Structure 1
Amino acid sequence: MTVPADQTRGEAPIAAPGSVVRLDWARIFRLFMKVLAVLTIGRGLFHWAVICGLPNADGITFEDFAPGLQAATVFFAVIEPVAGVGLWLAASWGGVVWIIAVLVAVGIDAAVLIGMQGWVQSAARPAMASAADLALLAFYILVAAAAGRQADEPAAD
Structure 2
Amino acid sequence: MEWRGLIGTALQWPWPSILTIYLRLNAALWFAMGLYYWARITGFVPWRMHYFWDMPLTWQSAIVLYAVLNLVTAVGLWLTAPWGPIVWVFTIVCQIVTHSALSDVFGERPFRIPFYVFSVFIYVILSILARRSRR
Q: Shorter chain as normaliser: what TM range?
A: 0.7 to 0.9
Residue matched to 1:24: 14
TM-score by length of 1: 0.73
> Any stretches of 5+ residues in structure 1 without a counterpart?
1-17, 113-119
Q: Deviations over 1:131-154 (max 9, x none)?
A: 211211111122112212222x2x
Q: Distance in 2 between matches of 1:45 and 1:55?
A: 11
- Over the residues paired in the alignment, what is the CA RMSD in angstroms? 1.8
Q: Deviations over 1:20-71 (max 9, x none)?
A: 5322211110000110000001000000000001233522211222211111
Q: Which has the higher helix share?
A: 2
Residue matched to 1:98: 88
- Identical columns (%): 26
Count of residue correspondences: 127
Residue matched to 1:126: 109
Q: Distance in 1 between matches of 2:120 and 2:39?
A: 25
Kindly state the Cα deviation for residue 121 of structure 1 after the two structures are TM-superposed. Answer: 2.4
Q: Distance in 2 between matches of 1:97 and 1:125?
A: 23
1:139 aligns with 2:129: no
> Any stretches of 5+ residues in structure 2 without a counterpart?
none
Larger Rg: 1
Out of 25, 34, 38, the position equivalent to 1:35 is 25
TM-score by length of 2: 0.84
Higher mean displacement: 58-67 or 102-111: 58-67
Q: Distance in 2 between matches of 1:39 and 1:64?
A: 27
Higher relative CO (CA 8 A, sep ≥ 6), structure 1 or 2? 2
Output aligned runs, 1:43-58, within 5 Å. Answer: 43-58=33-48
